[in-house]
Amino acid sequence: MKLRMRMTETNEGIQDAGIVDQFDQMMRTMAGERRRTVEKLQCLGIEGGWALEIGPGPGYLGIDWLKASPKSKLTALEISPNMLRKAEQNALREGVKERVAYVLGTALRMPFPDRTFDFIFSNGSLHEWEQPEAVFKEIFRVLKPEGVFLVSDLKRNATGFARFLMKATVKPKTMRPGLISSLQAAYTSAEIKQILSRSGWQTARVTENAFGLNIEGRKTS
């Protein structure tokens, strides 16, 4: 299959309140994927400290991680005011509101001091980062020494069958065009390795599966 040229999707997140509600509905159904991501976070030792989530959307991954990591606390950085409010509502309903702080802002210029967080994670937002090299540099800046990060996302070179499976599971159906545009905006493993090299993450590791990419690294200085 010929690799498609990358097409920029958005650098402003989902702003419209109606689409936020639909996105919330879609993400609510993806408990199995979130469980696997939480398990991956735990395997990397991402629990028991202070974590930053970049682009939490409606907040379900962070909420599930907090439930699985009772001694942890979370700060979540979100660019969309409507999405941030939705995440706050979900955290309150799920009983973890006292352990999470939602912050409005951009990952390009994170409003946090150097060496703040033990862990950083992000799922599904990488393809929206306007300047990924700058964001990975910011991740390095705000991580404590020996801090760990995990960034996961779709990949543009997913097979036709993988794309079919992903599209078939998206509900409501009105969100399926958004999946297609996200796939077109996603990166390949080779592209991410180049971005990591240019941003100073020489030891970060990129792995992939049929549907997407996992990028993990540890700050050693």
Residue-range domain boundaries for the chain: 17-218
Report the pLDDT averaged over residues 144-170: 93
> pTM of the full predicted structure?
0.91
Angle value at C-alpha 86, between 82 and 91, nearest 5 degrees: 145
Residue 145 neighbours by CB distance under 10 Å = 9
Tokens of 217: 């690294």
pLDDT in tens, 190-209: 999 999 999 999 889 999 99
Encode pLDDT of 168-187 as tens digits: 888 888 888 888 899 999 99
Q: What percent of the chain has pLDDT over 70?
A: 97
The Cα-based distances of 167 to 9, 42, 134, 138, 174 in angstroms read 17, 28, 31, 33, 11
Residue tagged 């309150």 (tokens)? 92
Q: How far apart are CA 86 and CA 94, in angstroms?
A: 12
Spatial CA neighbour of 57 closest among 31, 82, 92? 82
Split at pLDDT 50, 70, 90, the class of 6 is confident
Closest CA to 110 of 138, 79, 83, 130: 138
| Architecture, CATH, for domain 17-218 | 3-Layer(aba) Sandwich (3.40)
